[in-house]
Amino acid sequence: MTECYIRVAEDENEEPMEIPSEEDGTVLLSTVAAQFPGACGLRYRSPVSQCMRGVRLVEGVLHAPESDWGNLVYVVNYPKDNKRKMDEMDAASAVKIKRGVQKTSDLIVLGLPWKTTEQDLKDYFSTFGEVIMVQVKRDAKTGNSKGFGFVRFTDYETQIKVMSQRHMIDGRWCDCKLPNSKAGPDEPMRSRKVFVGRCTEDMTVDELRQFFMQYGEVTDVFIPKPFRAFAFVTFADDQVAQSLCGEDLIIKGTSVHISNAEPKHNNSSFFPSTFFMVKSPSLAAMFERSQYQFPSSHV
């Protein structure tokens, strides 16, 4: 058997696309997935039995049913019952659109092959939608991949779609999930100050101020020294601060996580900050600063 093209379609009634086989006549699942992201196999209607038959799949390699692939149209298989999930997804996103544009967040990608690079991730996930950030986490010393990474999409629908299925990346099944850092209901109190996690050392007070200005008036930026990979940003309006909590924002190509700046002690009943504010703004600032530590989730 020699190299050829086989006809593959999303559905029996849809127009097929021709995809190439290998020299030995087999077809790689990754070749199918390149055109049909999320594909996990192929099936076809047997001319003899008129039943759908599965194509043999061994370690990412699809084998022709008979001596060759023939002129049949092969239909793409997706994990579980993806069609029904799509309907649920559309209904869910329709509800959410009414409440405004959904913010996307970083997704953790688990199970990456050691060899997979950020370019590989970008290439793969771009088939779902516009990608605005990818990371492969590596050992600082050896540079070896830790086997997981992160991805961020422009559109929320893309994020939902990507989370709803498994992913064949460089020969391994990977999962995309919401990272633990943003799981569970946190965000307890209302504050004008937010905690900015995962800062990099090159971020300056000025740059953070410039960046956060787009959301509202910034009254203070505090970066602990020596470098501790987080910062505090205070807004004039607490609603601005609250609206950012839980979000992943991208500053200079780095994804930072916004959460509430949590007070470690609560002495405000003895010395309400409003008392200091009318008397002395600088004292009020000192007071606020002494009250807030990093949230427990980041300790």
Partner DNA sequence: GTTGAGCGTT
Residues that bind DNA in the complex, under the rule CB under 7 A: 105-106, 108, 110-114, 133, 135, 137, 140, 142, 144-148, 150, 172, 177, 179-182, 198-201, 229, 248, 254-255, 257
Written as six digits, the tokens of 168 are: 């064949």
Residue 119 C-beta: closest distance to DNA, Å = 17
Of 56 and 177, CB closest to DNA: 177
- Is the CB of 77 or the CB of 105 nearer to DNA? 105
To the nearest whole angstrom, how small is the minimum distance from the Cβ of residue 115 to DNA?
Answer: 8
Supply the minimum distance, in Å, between the C-beta of residue 173 and DNA: 10
Q: Judge contact between 234 and 215, C-beta under 8 A.
A: no
- In the complex, the smallest distance separating the C-beta of residue 135 from DNA, rounded to whole angstroms, is 6
Nearer to DNA, 167 or 257 (CB): 257
Which is closer to DNA, CB of 89 or CB of 132?
Answer: 132
Q: Concatenate the DSSP letters of all residues of 119-159 into one string.
A: HHHHHHHTTTS-EEEEEEEE-TTT--EEEEEEEEES-HHHH
Query: Exposure string (b/e) for 61-90, b if CB count within 10 Å is 16 or more?
Result: ebebbeeebeebbbbbbbbeebeebeeebe
* CB closer to DNA, 126 vs 239: 126
Provide the minimum distance between the beta carbon of 124 and DNA in the complex, in angstroms, as a whole number. 15
The whole-angstrom separation of Cα 40 and Cα 75 is: 11
